[in-house]
Amino acid sequence: MKLIIAIVQDDDAADLIDVITEAGFRVTKLATTGGFLKSGNTTLMIGVEVDKVEHVLSVIEETCKTRQQVVTSPSPVAGSTGVYVPYPVEVEVGGATIFVVDVDRFVKV
């Protein structure tokens, strides 16, 4: 058995959960926060048999597409005065960060 840990953007999470559960897999959703943009994301934990891993990975890849988003980033105005002026920066968001780990033991009670 394998545990798939997928970190996805909040915008993609609901659709991905729907697709995964419709495919017959169980998923656990954790609300998390990303370190780079300091924005919300969702961590999904999906336990699957070894022969189903590639199917789940392809579902994640089809559902979670990358896209460009404009975010506001603070920029110092004058050296070390502590004055910051926000300016827009375009960054790539979306997609997924996925870990596939071995499960030594699975127990459902």
Cα 66 to chain center, whole Å?
A: 11
pLDDT in tens, 32-46: 887 665 667 899 999
Q: Hey, where are the domains in the chain?
A: 2-66+94-102
- pTM, entire model: 0.75
pLDDT digit string, tens, across residues 52-82 = 999 999 999 999 887 776 766 655 555 556 6
Name the fold adopted by 2-66+94-102.
Answer: Alpha-Beta Plaits (3.30.70)
Contacts with 106 (C-beta within 8 Å, 6 or more apart), sequence order: 1, 47
Helices (H), the chain: 10-22, 53-63
d(CA 99, CA 86): 34
pLDDT at residue 93 in the model: 65
Confidence band, pLDDT 50/70/90 cuts, at residue 9: confident
